[in-house]
Amino acid sequence: MSELILAIDQGTTSSRAILFDRQGGIRGMAQQEFPQIFPADGWVEHNPEDLIQSTRAVCHGALDAAGVDAARIAAVGITNQRETTLVWDRLTGKPIYNAIVWQDRRTAEYCRRLKQQGHEAMVRRKTGLLLDPYFSATKLRWILRNQPDASQAAAAGGLCFGTVDTWLLWHLSKGRRHATDATNASRTLLYDIHQGAWDDELLSLFEIPRGILPEVCDSAADFGTCDFLGREIPIFAIAGDQQAATIGQACFKPGMVKSTYGTGCFMVLNTGDKVVESQHRLLGTVAYQLDGRRTYALEGSIFVAGAAIQWLRDALKVIDTAAASEAPASALSDNHGVYFVPAFTGLGAPYWNPDARGAVLGLTRDAGADHLVRAALEAVCYQTRDLTDAMAGDGIHARELRVDGGMVANSWMCQFLADTLDMTVKRPHVRETTALGVAFLCGLKLGWYQSLDEIAALWGEERAFEAGMAGEQRQRNYAGWRKAVARVNQIMD
Ligand SMILES: Nc1ncnc2c1ncn2[C@@H]1O[C@H](COP(=O)(O)OP(=O)(O)O)[C@@H](O)[C@H]1O
Ligand SMILES: O=P(O)(O)OC[C@H](O)CO
C-alpha cells in the first residue's frame, strides 16, 4: 500500500528528504550538506549538479532509513530555498552558470540605479517586493548579460530559467516539466501577485524574455511523475520553503504567524485574501495557491540567523557544535552590553541595506567568547522584534508566534525570544515543518485531507515559552540593539 509521502526539502546549506505518514509523523529521513561557493565579496553560488545529486541521494537515504521501498510512496513534494536563480539549456539541460543564491549581493549597484530611476513604487505595487538583490530577477538578468551568447539564446527560446524547485522538477520529472508554483513565482520580481501572472512591464524593466519562464501552477498540483526511485511516482506539490513552513505550522487563518530559524530567519503572517501593503518595508507575498485561489502573507526576511552560529563554530571556532551555543548563553546573567549585528550579507527586513556588513559592539576587556555566543543568539531575537515592531506599525499585533527550524532546538533562545517579543512562543512537536508543509500539500492533492481544518488538527505544540522578563529590562536590551544596528547602517553610509 502507498501510504507515505516523500518530502524533498532543498535548503541553502543542505538537502533533506523526509518520509511522512498521514498523521504527519516522520518515518524516515536523510540529509546531506553540499559546498557553498563564495567567488567574491558578497557573492554566493551553488553548483547546480550538487543540488540534484544531493537531492537524489537523500531520497534514497530516507527510504533506507525507513527500511521501505518506493512502492510505499504515494506522492513526492518539493520545497526549496527560494529566489536562488538558475538558467539552463533547454535541449541539454546543462546549466549555463552556477546557481546564484538568494544571499548573493552582486546586483546591489543595479538595484540602487533602478531605485534612483524611480522604479520601486511600480515594482512594489505589482510584486509586493522591493528592489533588492535578494530576489531572482536581477540575478537572472546578470546571468543573461554575463554569459557568452546567453541573451541571444534566451531570446531565441533556447534557455530555461528556474528557481531551485523548477531546476529539480526539470531533472527529476519524466518529460522534463518546466514549471513552478505561485509561491516561488512570487519571489522573482517578475510576477504580479494580484493578477497571478508574469508581468510584461516587469519583464521589460529587467530585460527578460517571456519564453525563458516556467509555467506557474497551484502549490498542490499534478507536476508530472518521477521514476528515479525505481517506480513511477506522482509529484503533487511544490512550495517555497518559508511558505511550506507556514502550511506545516498550520497558519491558515489571517493573523496567524510563524518564524523559521535556519540559515536565515523568515517570519510569515497569513493575511488571507488581501495583500497588505506594508509601510515598514515588509514584503507582500503568496502564502499558497490552492484550486486557483491565492492566500497572501506578509513576510519579514532576516538573512543571517543560524549562519551566525555556524560562523562562530567554523570561522572563530569558539564552539564545537551549534547545540553547544546554549550552555554559555544561559550561564551568563546578562549580555554585558555586547551586541553582535550579523550583517554578513547586508541587512534584510526592515532595513534593506545590501551594503551593511557585520559588527560586534560594546566589547570590554572582560568580554569573552561566551559573550559573543550569547550576542549571536540575542541578535536573532532582536531582529525578530524588529519584524514584530514593523508589523505592529502596519497595525498587526500578533499574540503568539509559532517557531521552527534548526535553531529552535535551543530552548534558551526560544525563552529569550518570548521575553524580547513579550509574546508566547510555541514550538511544535514536528520541527521539520517545511517538509511537513509540502507533505500536507501532497496529502491534499491525494485526497487524504478534505480541508485545511483537517490539517490544522494534526498540528501539536511541544512546548510554549511565556514572556517573563521585566519590561524595563526588555526595553533596555532592545534599545542597545537599536543603537548597534544604527551604527552598522551609519558606518556604511
Ligand atoms: N541548538 C542550536 N542552537 C543554535 N543554533 C542551532 C542549533 N542547532 C542548529 N542551529 C543552527 O540552525 C541552522 C540549521 O537549521 P536548518 O533549519 O537545518 O537550516 P537550513 O534549512 O537553513 O539549512 C544552522 O545554521 C545551525 O547553526
Ligand atoms: O534554505 P533556508 O531554509 O535558509 O531558506 C532560505 C529562504 O527560502 C530564502 O528566501
Q: What is the ipTM of this complex?
A: 0.97
Residue 263 marked as a ligand binder? yes
- Nearest-CA neighbor of 166 among 76, 75, 86? 86
The predicted pLDDT at position 182 comes to 98
Could you tell me if 128 and 284 are in contact, meaning their C-beta atoms sit under 8 angstroms apart?
A: yes
% the chain with pLDDT above 90: 92
State yes or no: pLDDT of 491 exceeds 70.
no
Q: What is the mean pLDDT of residues 284-306?
A: 95
Count Cα atoms within 13 angstroms, Cβ side, for 342: 26
- The conformation of residue 185, written as its DSSP 8-state character, comes to H
Q: Give the integer Cα–Cα distance in Å for 108 and 122.
A: 19
Shortest-distance ligand to the CA of residue 262: 1
In this structure, are strands 99-100 and 191-192 parallel, antiparallel, or unpaired?
unpaired
| CA atoms of 362 and 293, how far apart (whole Å) | 50
User: What is the average per-residue pLDDT within 352-364?
Assistant: 91
241 is in an annotated binding site: yes
Mean pLDDT computed over 383-401: 93
For residues 342, 366, 484, 473, the Cα torsion angle rounded to the nearest 10 degrees is 110
pLDDT of 360 over the 70 cut:
yes
User: What's the mean pLDDT when you consider all of the chain?
Assistant: 95
Question: For residue range 175-191, what is the model confidence (pLDDT) as tens digits?
Answer: 899 999 999 999 999 99
306 labelled ligand-binding: yes
Cell of 111: 538595484
Paired with 267 in beta bridges are 259, 300
477 CB under 6 A from ligand 2? no
Q: Check the annotation: does 310 bind a ligand.
A: yes
Instruction: Check whether 15 has a pLDDT greater than 60.
Output: yes
Strand partners, 6: 19, 76
What does the pLDDT look like over 148-172, one tens digit per residue? 999 999 999 999 999 999 999 999 9
d(CA 125, CA 317): 45
Distance 151 CA to ligand 2 centre (A): 28
Element (H, E) at 16: strand 14-20
Give the per-residue pLDDT at 2.
76
At residue 389 the predicted structure's pLDDT band, cuts being 50, 70 and 90, is very high
Pocket test for ligand 2, best of 102, 132, 260, 431 (most atoms within 8 A of CB): 102
> What is the rounded average pLDDT of the residues 320-327?
96
C-alpha neighbours within 13 Å on the C-beta side of residue 404:
28
How far apart are the C-alpha atoms of 275 and 411, rounded to whole Å? 34
DSSP string for residues in 71-126: GGEEEEEEEE-SS-BEEEETTT--BSSPEEPTT--TTHHHHHHHHHTT-HHHHHHH
Distances (CA, A) of 404 to 173, 424, 425, 427, 442: 30, 14, 10, 6, 21
Pocket of ligand 1 contains residue 309 by CB under 6 Å:
yes
pLDDT per position as a tens digit, 34-69: 999 999 988 999 999 999 999 999 999 999 999 999
Which pLDDT score is estimated for 346?
A: 86
* C-alpha distances in Å from residue 86, one per residue of 46, 76, 83, 136, 137: 10, 22, 10, 9, 11
| Nearest ligand for residue 103 CA | 2
The closest-lying atom of ligand 2 relative to the alpha carbon of residue 103 is 9
Give the tens place of pLDDT for each residue, 397-445: 888 999 999 999 999 999 999 999 999 999 999 989 999 999 999 999 9
pLDDT of residue 41: 86
Q: Who wins on pLDDT, 94 or 1?
A: 94
Across the range 312-321, mean pLDDT stands at 95
Residue 493 pLDDT > 60? no
1 pLDDT exceeds 80? no
The pLDDT value recorded for residue 492 is 56
Residue 459 has pLDDT above 70, yes or no: yes
Residue 375's pLDDT band (cuts 50, 70, 90): very high
Distances (CA, A) of 170 to 151, 261, 385, 402: 21, 29, 39, 33
339 labelled as ligand-binding? no
Atom 10 in ligand 1: which residue has the minimum CA distance?
Answer: 407
Mean predicted confidence (pLDDT) in 276-290: 94
Domains parsed from the chain with CATH numbers = 4-241 (3.30.420.40), 250-428+460-493 (3.30.420.40)
For atom 9 of ligand 2, the residue with the nearest CA is 82
What's the confidence (pLDDT) of residue 42?
87
> What would the mean pLDDT of 14-39 be, rounded to a whole number?
95
The residue whose CA has the least distance to atom 6 of ligand 2 is 81
